[in-house]
Amino acid sequence: MSRLVVVSNRVAPIKDGKAVAGGLAVGVYEALRDSGGIWFGWNGEISASPELASETHGRITYATLGLTRRDYDHYYRGFSNATLWPIFHYRIDLARYRRDEYEGYRSVNRKLAEQLKPLLRKDDVIWVHDYHLIPFADECRRLGIRNRIGFFLHIPFPAPEILTAIPPHNDLFRTLCAYDLIGFQTEVDRQAFSDYITREVRGVPGPDGYLTAYGHRFRAEVYPIGVVPDEIQATAASYKGRRNLIGRTAAGEPCPTIISVDRLDYSKGLLERFCAYEELLQRYPEHHRNVQFVQIAPTSRSDVKTYQHIRQQLETQAGHINGRYAELDWMPLHYLNRSHERRVLMGLFRGAGIGLVTPLRDGMNLVAKEYVAAQDPENPGVLVLSRFAGAARELNTALIVNPYDTVGMAEALDRALRMPLAERKDRYASMMLSIRHNDLGRWRDRFLADLHAAGAGRQPTDKIAV
């Protein structure tokens, strides 16, 4: 059996018996635990002289290294998160491009490939994750590595017109075509990639599902990432803490909760969400003292001005809503910037009558699936979901909204608060069928099966001119 080698931007060793949080971490950990292998990437540290370090737990070897301050600034803060992240989320207005940062991005991918090469065996299968590592396979091929290499993009893939705003887009996506298999969250993403390849570089789609471009032949497929529904349901059901965070209605009953959990990021639509909640309170005064909105948004990239600005906007808007509507015994909005344990979040999801997941753009958004999976089947809550989240293509019995339409979102929240139990149960049952069908195990198994079936690495004779 071939050994699996996983490459991701961040790697944190997981000891046997410890809980694993997050979709990517769970899926990768279980695949490595089953087959044995290496998890390789940046350890999250900044060092003047980074050195490769490894530690083994069970059948998994974690091989990590640090970044220099210059590499961190150019590769991570620079091209990855100041250029690719905003553009892939359709925010060209927030993107910044510097040639030296792109060169640093390419340089770090080259260094990572050089560090990985001595660790590889001939039949290893390499699975690379996300936008930080688009050029990684190309650097491996330059080093003579001919193993099967697959790539999965966790974030959206935008339309060709958006991508061409990246000055070195042709060079960047030439390197992406060095992979044997490229995976996307949705058919929309895969089609956008295919459109770019055929329109910008005259790539040729074949009848066998392969594409040929930049002298490479490769597959591009859809693999919607999922969750582990039974684990989520068990965690949520067993949680003994407070499910209904705060407050009671005017009649003394537990106050229905609208809950949102997101990393603090401009792509998540947090400000639009706050405005929609204010619209709900303004249009439907009968909900005063009878609903509370809990937004958990741990800070991220707090050294970046764009993120500092969105945090200031949210704090201002939260203060405005509470200042306008709060009463001595009722606070309508609870805005928290702290992280919470996974078991706590699952318990809160189960106790919340509405899950509000309204990103402006998202590759999948696992919070939507986690919220549904955490519900009590006999008394499930209602998911209000952005049409621009990849999850909306699967969870189509959620209340689908346009996050730019604050009135429409307020109307959906009012509908959710009034929805009868029978309708809630029907919608929940339909979404759970989809969640169970496309669970995390299926995502992992389908991708790895297709990667194993892909061509046995690049050979010089494989190249076909376009």
Given its phi and psi angles, is residue 44 left (phi above 0), alpha (psi -120 to 50 degrees) or beta?
left
Catalytic residues: 154, 362
- Torsions phi, psi for 370 (to 5 deg): -65, -40
Q: Which amino acid is at 74?
A: H
Percent of the chain topping pLDDT 90? 81
pLDDT of residue 236: 95
Domains and CATH numbers, the chain: 4-226+441-455 (3.40.50.2000), 229-437 (3.40.50.2000)
> What mean pLDDT do residues 289-293 have?
95
- Give the residue among 98, 66, 69 at the shortest CA–CA distance from 82: 98
Polymer length of the chain: 466
Can you tell me whether residue 383 is helix, strand or coil?
Answer: strand
Residue 446 and residue 150: Cα distance in Å, rounded?
A: 12
The 8 Å CB, 24+ separation contacts for 18-25 are 19/342, 21/342, 23/225, 23/226, 23/227, 23/366, 23/440, 24/129, 24/154, 24/225
* Structure confidence by residue, pLDDT tens digits, 405-423: 999 999 999 999 999 999 9
Residue 410 token pair: 């307020």
Residue 126 and residue 297: Cα distance in Å, rounded?
A: 33
pLDDT of residue 306: 87
Across 44-48, 49-53, 134-138, 452-456, least confident range:
452-456
Across 112-126, 200-214, 425-439, least confident range:
200-214
Q: Which residues pair with 401 in a beta bridge?
A: 386
Average pLDDT in the chain? 92
- Torsions phi, psi for 425 (to 5 deg): -65, -40
Q: How many CA atoms lie within 13 A of 303 on its CB side?
A: 6
pLDDT at 61 over 80: yes
Question: Which residues 6+ apart lie within 8 Å of 269 measured at CB?
Answer: 358, 359, 360, 386, 403
pLDDT at 246 over 70: no
Question: Which residues 6+ apart lie within 8 Å of 218 measured at CB?
Answer: 177, 179, 180, 181, 182, 210, 211, 454
- Give the residue among 186, 316, 192 at the shortest CA–CA distance from 176: 192
* Structure confidence by residue, pLDDT tens digits, 180-200: 999 999 999 999 999 999 999
* ∠ CA 307-311-314, rounded to 5°: 140
CB 290 within 8 A of CB 250: yes
Alpha helix (H) residue ranges in 36-98: 69-71, 85-88
Beta strands in 327-381 (DSSP E): 333-336, 354-357
The conformation of residue 58, written as its DSSP 8-state character, comes to T
Beta strands in 348-434 (DSSP E): 354-357, 382-386, 399-401
Residue 400 token pair: 């689908």
